[in-house]
Structure 1
Amino acid sequence: MSSHFPPLSIKPLQRLQVNNGLLLTAEHWRLAHDYHRQRQNIYYQSLHQAGIVSGLGVCVIPPPSEVAQEYRDGRWLLIQPGVAIDHNGNPIVVPQPLAFRIASEPSISGSLVVYVVINYVDPDRLQGLEERQLLQETFRIDEKITRPNDTDVELCRVLLEPGEVQLEPATNVLNPEANQLDLRYRKLAQVRSLEQVRVAQVIPGQTGDAVTFAKFSYLMQSVTALYPAIQGTINQVTLQAGAEQLDYDLLYFTLGQLLTLQESERQSLRQYLAGGAVILLEVSIQEANIVELSAVRQQLRFAIANLTDESEIASVRQEIEAELNAVESNLTQQLQEFSQPIRDFAEDIGINTTNSDTLSSNHSLRNQPFLFAQLPIVQNYPIHLFNWGGIVLIVGSLSSAWGIDDTLSLSRETIRSAQEMGINILHFAWHRHQLTQLQQIAKVNG
């Protein structure tokens, strides 16, 4: 999933005031054209995502005949003609094939990822072109050993291994090997998503839960197809850096992590939540000790659903409904007892938890963007969802159904329902954060 978009520069546009008798100078002409370029760039940045429009294929070639002998090796690529647009809305046009040599060397002890990128070059910034009447907008192709930044359009990447480098086309384009071209991460120019959701998994040290990270990755993958208005990123963070570094809409905690936070970490979290962001907790029904009650409730609901309307079994229906009400009452009480430490934590950091019931039908977690009359059922148990201010608690294994399980036992309906609820959670976190930020003093972008 691509990174969130850089903020727009908030500067007023200035245009030339034209009156009769105005002496048209080169500076006036430049000002007039710069105004239209700036408007075009703002339009593109606001509504579109940078990337490749067409072409710009990359292939392995033998060294060109005109190069010196010392550069005649297996490191040569051919960048094919094509068009791209950078994040400012500047068009990048490659009119003819261009040979390019990767010069980076991996260390003796390890491999190295090299990124081949293309950038727009403004001809006004080039030297020695002052006397020309026509200036051709151009580009620059670079190789980098750090991830591409906002101004780069990635063409390909290659994992170089130690030793002599001999580039090859990928045998399996969906899973390239070392020294083979990797084109999987090229971004295409397209309409920009409305919601840029930033999610982080809180980790206790330098290594995180790879399983949880993979679950969120599945969810982010599903967003593109199910709700294109959202685009998201997932990272791993620690709380030691302080609240100012928690630039995320949603933080995922385990229950153990949340309840064992140090006072300094709680203070960071308090500031984070005050900005409108959201904490997500997920616990299994085993941790909540509601396995038996949930199973009985499901059985009673199934029994009621399969009863006929015949009058002679009306008394049976009443007995089952009475038993179901008793089970649901016990289940509610058990969930309240289990969630008490979480509510105590919420109160400690300034969140009101007077409403401890499950979500009402008109809560945005249940109806935006997808409608849920009944919450998803995962592994034969319905999940339970709670919300206290910036804290969302899931009781049940919702995230386990965001992707494919090892046994391939999850139905398509279960996966899709769980993903849609996950998207509701992402939307809730983004929307709450945005609305809160809009009524706070913000740093103005230069």
Structure 2
Amino acid sequence: MSHPFPQPSIQPFDRLQAADGLLINAERWRKAHDYHRQRQNTHYQCLNQPGIVCGLGVRNIPAPRDVQAKYRDGRWVQIQPGIAIDLAGNLIVVPTAFNFPIDLEVANTDSILVYLTVSYVDPEDLRSPNSREIVTEAYRFDQRNSTLNISEIEICRILLQPGQKEINQANDIFFPGYNDIDLRFRRQAQARPQAILRLAQINHSDAECARNFFNLSYFLQSIEPLYPYFRGLDEPEQISLSKKIQDYDLLYLTGQQELSINSVEFESLKNYLNTGGMLLVDAPGDAEALIQSTYTLAQKLNITLKKSTELRRDHSLRTRPFLFAGLPAVNKKIIEIITGGGIILTIGDLASAWGLDKELQMPRLAIRTAQEFGINIVYYAWKRRQLIGLQQEDDSGKW
């Protein structure tokens, strides 16, 4: 399943075989201890994901007095003590506050987004002039305006304006502005979910195909609080069927008009469904053209669609992870579910209840119920893809 943090490689461990008379030298001592370090780190990688454990706050400060005058500007921050764990399972301990200058150059016309990061440094990688019996594991702070290295932990980000302007504390911490310290995107170290789900909206010729796009974001945000074993990957994407769709756990399609798919898109979709992918067609109740064309598409794919009344009572769409006897109601009308193979057709505009309506009047219970049923859909899609994938050849060397 999709996950921003890869699982460790499937590699066996080599352990030092002890025996009477074995000569312990520095190399063998290091091998013995590296074995335990690797097992500990791999154990963490298997069950958890990297992030900040505690502390590592950031505040703006005046330039320290001991720096040269030319560096005494208003772009200094102080990183507070704290602990983090990186992707490899290495513990990063920052024992004291650290003053850090934000000194990346900003062009005269464009702002830049600066990331402040911390990463683990193995003492054996440091060039120490003296051989010491005890060494302290180290860390490194860095700033960059490009994609982070996967081993780095984000502490904060700052959207810098052109010119030497001061770093500020945000007046509204939930909506920081230019030159404000932004702490909203820090990852916390926590248990690894079973899957991080990727969802994409299918763009097609219908002008109504994107009408629920923002509600897909609300839905992805709801997955982890309602079902902590899963997590939605930040934001949905918009793609066409002719693009690379294999990376997505669920494809979402809506609109009003008849669905028109060319031969390239048809073959792409067919391959996606055969390898475990899932297509969710979310049709409003009056979208007859879209509904009928979905049946036609299913026939071309040799898929038999069945109504929910024809499914087993214990079908996953009704029972996993949330139990539904009656199906959710959207706009006071019960939705219909028709499914088969890798296609789910919902009639009743389910995703319109996944987010905020324009009038902000939709009852909380209606939103929660629709989101829970949506999680049943993505659970069914994930489980189907997992079970089909486990019957395929896998030579990737990854879990």
TM-score by length of 1: 0.82
Stretch moving more, 7-16 or 352-361: 352-361
| Helix, strand or coil at the partner of 1:268 | helix
What is the 5 A alignment of 1:344-359?
Answer: 344-348=296-300, 350-353=301-304, 355=306, 358=309
Structure 2 CA distance for aligned equivalents of residues 258 and 252 of structure 1: 16
Q: Which amino acid aligns with 2:237?
A: Q
1:105 is matched with 105
| Helix, strand or coil at the partner of 2:288 | coil
How far is 1:357 from its partner? 5.7
2:239 is matched with 238
Asked if residue 390 in structure 1 is aligned to residue 342 in structure 2, the reply is yes
Q: Which has the larger radius of gyration?
A: 1
2:123 is matched with 123
- The question of whether the paired residues in 1 share the 8 Å contact of 2:259 and 2:294 is answered with yes
Long gaps (5+) in structure 2? none
What is the 5 A alignment of 1:300-319?
Answer: none
More helix by share: 1
Asked if residue 182 in structure 1 is aligned to residue 182 in structure 2, the reply is yes
Q: Which amino acid aligns with 1:48?
A: N
TM-score by length of 2: 0.92
Q: Which runs of 4+ in 1 moved over 3 A?
A: 207-211, 239-243, 255-258, 354-359
| Residue deviations 1:164-193 (CA, integer Å, cap 9, x gap) | 321101111111111100111111111221
Structure 2 CA distance for aligned equivalents of residues 57 and 211 of structure 1: 39
Structure 2 CA distance for aligned equivalents of residues 134 and 218 of structure 1: 51
| Helix, strand or coil at the partner of 2:154 | strand
- The question of whether the paired residues in 2 share the 8 Å contact of 1:254 and 1:281 is answered with yes
Q: How many corresponding residue pairs?
A: 394
Structure 1 CA distance for aligned equivalents of residues 124 and 143 of structure 2: 24
| Helix, strand or coil at the partner of 2:237 | strand
How far is 1:359 from its partner? 5.7
Structure 2 CA distance for aligned equivalents of residues 80 and 222 of structure 1: 31
Distance 1:363 1:37, change over 3 A: same
What is the 5 A alignment of 1:129-208?
Answer: 131-203=131-203
How far is 1:258 from its partner? 8.4
Q: Which amino acid aligns with 2:158?
A: V
Structure 1 CA distance for aligned equivalents of residues 352 and 241 of structure 2: 28
| Residue deviations 1:322-346 (CA, integer Å, cap 9, x gap) | xxxxxxxxxxxxxxxx744213212
- The question of whether the paired residues in 2 share the 8 Å contact of 1:156 and 1:185 is answered with yes
* Overall identity of the aligned pairs, in %: 43
1:408 is matched with 360
Q: Which amino acid aligns with 2:50?
A: A
Distance 1:354 1:221, change over 3 A: closer
Structure 1 CA distance for aligned equivalents of residues 356 and 204 of structure 2: 27
Q: Which amino acid aligns with 1:441?
A: E
Structure 1 CA distance for aligned equivalents of residues 251 and 229 of structure 2: 21
| Residue deviations 1:203-246 (CA, integer Å, cap 9, x gap) | 359x9977533211111222222111111214314347644x63
Structure 1 CA distance for aligned equivalents of residues 383 and 146 of structure 2: 32
- The question of whether the paired residues in 1 share the 8 Å contact of 2:281 and 2:344 is answered with yes
Distance 1:121 1:431, change over 3 A: same
Q: Which amino acid aligns with 1:352?
A: I
Structure 1 CA distance for aligned equivalents of residues 229 and 147 of structure 2: 26
How far is 1:392 from its partner? 1.1
| Residue deviations 1:234-269 (CA, integer Å, cap 9, x gap) | 4314347644x6311111123579822221122222
How far is 1:43 from its partner? 1.2
> What is the RMSD of the two structures over their aligned residues, measured on CA atoms?
2.4
How far is 1:137 from its partner? 0.8
Asked if residue 341 in structure 1 is aligned to residue 293 in structure 2, the reply is yes
How far is 1:401 from its partner? 1.2
Stretch moving more, 355-364 or 157-166: 355-364
How far is 1:368 from its partner? 0.4
1:441 is matched with 393
Q: Which amino acid aligns with 1:343?
A: Y
1:19 is matched with 19
Distance 1:208 1:129, change over 3 A: farther
1:399 is matched with 351
Q: Which amino acid aligns with 1:105?
A: E
- The question of whether the paired residues in 2 share the 8 Å contact of 1:10 and 1:444 is answered with no
1:368 is matched with 320
Stretch moving more, 391-400 or 280-289: 280-289
Q: Which amino acid aligns with 2:365?
A: E
How far is 1:4 from its partner? 3.4
